[in-house]
Each structure stands twice: as structure tokens, then as C-alpha cells.
Structure 1
Amino acid sequence: MLKVYHAPNTRSIRVLWLLEELGTPYEKETVEFDPKYLQSDAYLAINPLGKLPAINDNGLMLNESGAIVQYILAKHAGSHLEPKLGTPVYGKYLQWLHFAEATFMPPVSLIIQHTFRKPPEERVASVVTDAQAALKKVLTLLDKELATKPFICGNEFTAADIMLGYDLFLCNLIRVPLAEYANISAYFDRLSSRPGFQKASGK
């Protein structure tokens, strides 16, 4: 059985949420989100970078959330969580699937690092200011994209919504004012009301 290494509020939420939406059995091992554990020899044998998520699928170890999502979906080819391969909507789906980590997540991570995670003496205010400006552009784009549809690829919920939904979950956690973006606010309400999200996030 596929095993997911998880800690609250981390990217492993994406993996758990996906598995819940697919109705796929899995084993969850909740670990300490603490450098002492994540940098231990035991955990570095699971993920050499000492980060989350990580999965063990019958000996196959993976640790990039986007790659894990695509890998699991490939094992469930034809599922309702991705458009038909090779279609124009599939191209858009891939764009938003990767946008979540490659474009959306960097400014969120910088804000978290320089507001909460780093010791006060290592925090740089200008980094936060620049990241907030970059995040505003991302949110403005996403809000416009969601103006005429309930989900990022149209009327159907997909794994791209899972990837983006986690980003919005973090934004909400660090009190980014999502209410300023009406379409995003309604979108996140739809996502966060799903049982799969609630179970994965512990809500």
C-alpha cells in the first residue's frame, strides 16, 4: 500500500487530498515538522532533502508534490481528476498544475520564511515587500481566470485545483486578504468544502 509521510499544513496535504478524491487506500505516517526529525538519518533515508511530502509506493520513493500527483494520476489513468490527454483543456490543466508550485508558491514561501520561520535577525523586510507584490500579481491573474468558471479548468474539478487549493490554504493560514479577490474567495470556499480537502487538511 502507498505510504504518505505527512505533517500538518505542509505540501503533503496535496497528496492526501488527491488520494481522498480518488478513493484510493493509503497509509499515512504523521511525522514531526521539526529539523531535528527531518534532518535525522532515519528521515533523510526517505527524503534526502529532509522535506515533505514523501511517499513510498512499494519501494519507489518520491518527494516532489507535483511529481507525486502526476505519478498517482498516471496509475489511475482516465480518472475524473484530469482532462483527456492531448486535448487543449489538458494543456491548460498542465499549465495550472505546474503554475501552483512554480509561480504561485515562491512568493508565499518567501513571505512565510521572512515573517514566521526564520529567526528575527535573519528576516529581511524588503524580501517580504517584493514577495507581496509578486503574490498580488498572481492573485489578480487567478481571480480574473476564475471570473467565469467554478474551477480552474472549467466546470469540472481537477487535480490542478488540488495543487492551487493548497496554495490558497497557505495564503489563508498566513492571513493574505483573499476576501479582496471575490472570485478566488468563492473558489476557495468551494474547494475547502470538499470532504477530501477537509480530511487531508484536518479541518
Structure 2
Amino acid sequence: MLKVYGFSRVNEFARGNTRDLRVLWALEEMGLPYEIVGMDHPNHALDSDEFRAKNPFGQIPVIDDDGVVVTESGAILLYLARKSGKLMPHDLAGEAQVLRWTIAALSTIEVPVLALWFVDMTGGKGTEPHEALHQWSDMRLEQLDGWLAHRTFIATDEFTVADILMTHVLSARSTDPSLLKPYQHVRTYQTRCMDRPAWKRTFDAYCERVETA
């Protein structure tokens, strides 16, 4: 059976905000069977030789699908979409759009907002790097807002793995909610995706299972 290496115990700030949620949400949407291998982050479970053999970076999520080991949330979701035939168009043109927006979520959008969060968290708020990153983030979110003005989902007319990734990036604690306030279409899109029953089931099960250090 497919194994998902996900958190069983995390620091308080990270609970409800970890990237294994992206994989668990996708699996819930797809209806694929899986088992969770719980990892205790505060007790350094990710530093073990066994885990580092699967992911040398010591990061979650990781899946092991009967010996096929995949890391990185974007790569995992694309793999699962191909495996299940769900949350991914079956035509090449449609698949290209999902690939396009998967990469955009994890690079064009996540990179500036995550960098801004890191600078602010380390005492850089109000500095020139903060202002530069804020302007970069605003520019990308304004462009994204324009793209979503007349679209229900990000890549195609149907919900895909690209929507899971984009939504999780937008809703992460590393994305300052005040950044999204000017962008109505982004906020409406985010709400639409997070209102899906599969996300709510995923998040509720995660909160019941994952302990806080």
C-alpha cells in the first residue's frame, strides 16, 4: 500500500500548516488508499538514516508507493494524478496547463511570499529587503488576481492538483493574510477551493492525529 510520510508531532507554529497536507488532500480527493507513517519532528525523526535514505534533505512530504519513492509536494501530486487518472486532464494540452500552474504556485507565487515571511520573522520588517519583497509579492498577487478574474480554477475548468498547490501556498501561515486583502478574485478562489469537502475532511483528520510539541 502507498505510504505517506507525514507529521505525527510538530512544533506549535507548524501544526495545521505543513506540506504533507497537500498530499493528504490530493489523496482524499482521488480516493486512493494509503497509510500514514507518522514522523515526530521535534524528536528529530527526520534526521534518521532511514528517512534520509528516502529524502536526503530531511523534509516532508515523502511517499513510498511499493518502492517508488517520491519527494517534493509538487512532484508527488503530479505522480498521484498520473497514477489515479484524477485531478489531471487526459489530453496533452490540458496536462501542460496543470504542469504550468503547478510550477507557478511553487515558484512564481510561493518564492516571494515565503521569502517575505522569512525576512520578517528574522527581524527584517521595515527594512529595504522587506519593502522589496513586499513589492514583488504584491506584483505577483495582482497578476494572479487578474488571471482569476473570470476563472473558477487555476489551470482548467475543473479542479486539479495545481489548485491544491496554489490554494495551500495562498493559505499558508508564511503568506501574510494582509497581502491578499486587495485581491478579491484571489480570495474568492481560495475560499472556493477550501470549501471542498475533501479539504475539510483532510484538515479535520490531520488536527485529530497530529500532536503539538
TM-score if structure 2 supplies the norm length?
0.81
Letter in 2 for 1:96: W
More deviation in 155-164 or 31-40?
31-40
Do the aligned partners of 2:32 and 2:84 also contact (CA within 8 Å) in 1?
A: no
1:173 CA displacement: 6.0
Q: 1:54 aligns with which of 56, 62, 80?
A: 62
**For 1:155-194, what aligned pairs fall within 5 Å after superposition?**
155-170=157-172, 174-194=176-196
Amino acid at match of 2:76: I
CA contact (8 A) 2:20 2:73 kept: yes
Report if aligned partners of 1:171, 1:178 keep a CA contact under 8 Å in 2: no
1:72 to 2:56 alignment: no
Deviation at 1:201, TM superposition (A): 3.3
Equivalent pairs counted in the alignment come to 196
Q: In the alignment, what sits opposite 1:137?
A: 139
Change (3 A) 1:182 1:46: same
SS at match of 1:56: strand
Aligned AA (2:4):
V
Alignment identity in percent? 33
Letter paired with 1:159? V
SS in 2 for 1:31: strand
User: SS of the residue aligned with 2:167?
Assistant: helix
Instruction: Indicate conservation of the 8 Å contact 1:108/1:171, yes or no.
Output: no
Q: Which residue of 1 aligns with 2:92?
A: 86
Give 2:49's aligned residue.
41
Aligned match of 2:115:
110
Unpaired segments of 5 or more residues in structure 1?
A: none
In structure 2, distance between residues paired with 1:73 and 1:197: 17
How far the C-alpha of 1:75 sits from its partner, in A, is 1.0
Superposition CA RMSD, Å: 2.4
- CA drift at 1:35: 8.0
Counterpart CA distance in 2 for 1:169 and 1:54 is: 21
1:96 equivalenced with 2:101 (yes/no): yes
- Cα distance change on mapping 1:20 and 1:134 into 2, 3 Å: same
Partners in 2 of 1:144 and 1:153 — Cα distance? 14
Structure 2: state its 5+ residue gaps.
8-15, 208-213
For the residues of structure 2 that align with 1:115 and 1:41, how far apart are their CA atoms? 33
**Per-residue deviation, 1:194:** 1.0
**Higher RCO, Cα 8 Å, sep 6+:** 2
